[in-house]
Amino acid sequence: MRHNLKNFELKEACSLTDPKLESTYELANPLTGKVYRLGEKPLKIFATPSVTIKNLPTVIGSDGLPWDLACYYLLGLAEQQASDLASIQKYAVHLSEFYDFCQGNDVDLLLDTPSKRKKPIFRFRDSLLGQVRDGEITDKTANNKIGNVVRFYRWLIDDHGFVFKHRPFNNESVVISFVNASGNIGHKLTHSHNARIKTSPNAELPSEDVIVDDGRLRPLPANEQEVLLNTLVTHKNTEMFLIFMFSLTTGARIQSVLTVRHKHFRVETDPDTSVPLAIGHGTAVDSKYSKKQTLVIPTFVQQKLAAYSHSERAKKRFLKYCDKRQIEPMEEAMDDCYLFLSNQGHPFYDAKSDLYKADHSQERTNLRNGDSVRKFIKRRLLPPMKEAFGQNHHFQFHDLRATFGMNLVDACMNLVDKGQMPVSEVLPFVQSRMNHANSKTTQLYINYREKNKKVAQIIDEYQSSMLDRIESLLGGKSLC
């Protein structure tokens, strides 16, 4: 069972006789009736008097009280700022599942036994393997869960000073193979443990219709882009149309699109010039790994988003946003507010810069990460696109980034054909607009059309040759 301490202000536990004590309160055990008296004072972190953390997770036991060891662990992560709240949230969810398993199966969480089969970690591991066999979870999900439980036990031993005569797990070293952003295979030596669940690697076979760019992305051809836009218009969902248009014309990832603010579009701009927008560390807009980047927004897109920002529709959502968070709906508040909100006044994505701010509306277990957009794709966009292009048609939001990249390459090549752009300028221009760190990734976009053409030719020639050979071998005879 998972719970959150909503709007939890991180405090320092202290003695009831501490002269710096800020307040005291009582907490009763609902089962035994025993009353605990607690004291708290502001916790100083990196010269900050106190830190307010929105939606800090914890783990609640069957007795209605927090699991103390898990709480210490999660608070320690937040205090050290060693991990962002999205990661802490994941650790809490996995620890709560482990805690529920142990309580439900009468397993002592701190059992110190030489029997590997009886150790809590390995009993939980057996349960996860059963879920994998039954198709309830993937092997990668199971390995992530057991890995986070192991991290907790490492903390118990290394940081909390807990001593096990028989370690809950053994350390091991393994070589991990991976495919980097450029599609090259790499290897690295890393520390692991004997509770690790083996995972099957994804099939990374070469394909003529994908580009390996932070995932296997499929640029949408012109006819699919047209059906996508027409479908978006048909649904009359203004926010979704603008979200998709923004990504399709800038190449922005979902976290960047969904964390832009009203202030970015309430500015005077040159009607004949594209508008640069800084994202990443030091801005209110998220980027991958918080890397500083610049998006270039076409003028007509900037104007559409500015018009939406000043619309009554956007204002109504903003008022709901303020009402739920108990803030005054002033101009300054609207400047800092997310441009895209749900009809209930909630953001579609929780920006990193807002995770340490109080949010009186937060009643969710998990942080928002764009799931509403993904559900919209699954329920509203994929059905008509499958009807148009076959049941095997697939589409993900991140494909819009690859589509933007290929549209950019095609536009550049058109200028090259007209003699209006040197071919040597295409790669650096596209690399800059795509914010690629490695030019090899950009080269995948440059080569995409030619590669597809060659692959199609090879397949046609091979099939033709094979059919001729089969016909020659059969000599017109039937096999029936």
Model pLDDT for residues 402-417, shown as the tens digit of each residue: 999 999 999 999 999 9
Percent of residues, the chain, with pLDDT higher than 90: 52
Grouping H, G, I as helix, E, B as strand and the rest as coil, residue 6 is: coil
Whole-number pLDDT of residue 127: 95
List the single range of 38-52, 102-116, 181-195, 455-469 with lowest mean pLDDT: 38-52
> By the 8 A CB rule, do 265 and 339 touch?
yes
Give the pLDDT band (50/70/90) at residue 183: low
Q: Strand, helix or coil at 320? A: helix
Residues 355, 304: Cα–Cα separation, whole Å: 29
- pLDDT for the residue numbered 60: 76
Best mean pLDDT range from 216-220, 256-260, 463-467: 256-260
Question: For 11, phi and psi rounded to 5 degrees?
Answer: -120, 170
> 274 exposed, middle or buried (CB, 10 Å; 0-12, 13-18, 19+)?
middle
Averaged pLDDT for residues 62-71: 76
- Secondary structure percentages of the chain, helix, strand, coil, to 5: 50, 15, 35
Q: How far apart are CA 174 and CA 195, in angstroms?
A: 13
> 204-221 as b/e, with b when 16 or more CB fall inside 10 Å?
eeeeeebbbbeebbbbbe
Mean predicted confidence (pLDDT) in 254-260: 97
Residue 105: per-residue pLDDT: 93
Mean pLDDT of 309-337: 94
In this predicted structure, what is the pLDDT of residue 178? 66
Q: How many CA atoms lie within 13 A of 350 on its CB side?
A: 22
Query: Cα(137)–Cα(114) distance, rounded to whole angstroms?
Result: 30
Which pLDDT belongs to residue 157? 92
> So what's the pLDDT on residue 230?
93
**Backbone phi, psi, residue 462, to 5°:** -65, -45
Q: What is residue 13's three-state secondary structure?
A: strand
Mean pLDDT in residue range 101-127: 94
- Cβ(448)–Cβ(406) below 8 Å: yes
405, 251 in Cβ contact below 8 A?
Answer: yes
pLDDT at residue 4 in the model: 43
C-alpha span between 355 and 357 (Å, rounded): 6
What span, in angstroms and rounded, lies between the C-alpha atoms of 407 and 417?
A: 15
With a cut of 90, say whether residue 472 has pLDDT above it: no
Residue pLDDT, tens place only, 429-464:
999 999 999 999 999 999 998 877 766 666 667 666
Secondary structure, 3-state, 365-409: CCCCECHHHHHHHHHHHHHHHHHHHCCCCCCCCCHHHHHHHHHHH
Rg (CA), the chain: 27
How far from the centroid of its chain's Cα atoms is residue 367's Cα? 10
Q: Read off the pLDDT of residues 7-18 as tens digits, 9 standing for 90 and up.
A: 455 555 555 566
Under 8 Å CB-to-CB from 328, ≥6 apart: which residues? 322
pLDDT value for 412: 94
| Separation of CA 400 from chain center | 16
Q: Are the C-beta atoms of 348 and 373 separated by less than 8 Å?
A: yes
Q: Which residues pair with 66 in a beta bridge?
A: 60
Euclidean distance between CA atoms 192 and 101, whole angstroms: 23
Average pLDDT over residues 323-344: 93
User: Residue 352: pLDDT band by 50, 70, 90 thresholds?
Assistant: confident
363 vs 224 pLDDT, higher one: 224
**pLDDT tens-digit series, residues 23-49:** 666 666 666 676 666 666 555 544 444
- pTM, two decimals, is 0.74
The conformation of residue 349, written as its DSSP 8-state character, comes to B
Between these two residues, 38 and 163, which has the higher pLDDT value?
A: 163
Amino acid at the residue 328: E
**Which of 32-41, 63-72, 156-165 has the weakest average pLDDT?**
32-41
Mean pLDDT, rounded, of the chain: 83
The DSSP call for residue 263 is G
pLDDT of residue 39: 60
Q: Are 338 and 318 in contact (CB under 8 A)?
A: no
As a whole number, mean pLDDT of residues 334-338 equals 96
Q: Is the pLDDT of residue 196 over 70?
A: yes
Residue 265 pLDDT greater than 60, yes or no: yes
- Mean pLDDT computed over 225-240: 94
Tell me what pLDDT residue 153 has: 95
pLDDT at position 128 is 95
Residues 6+ apart with CB under 8 A from 438: 181, 182
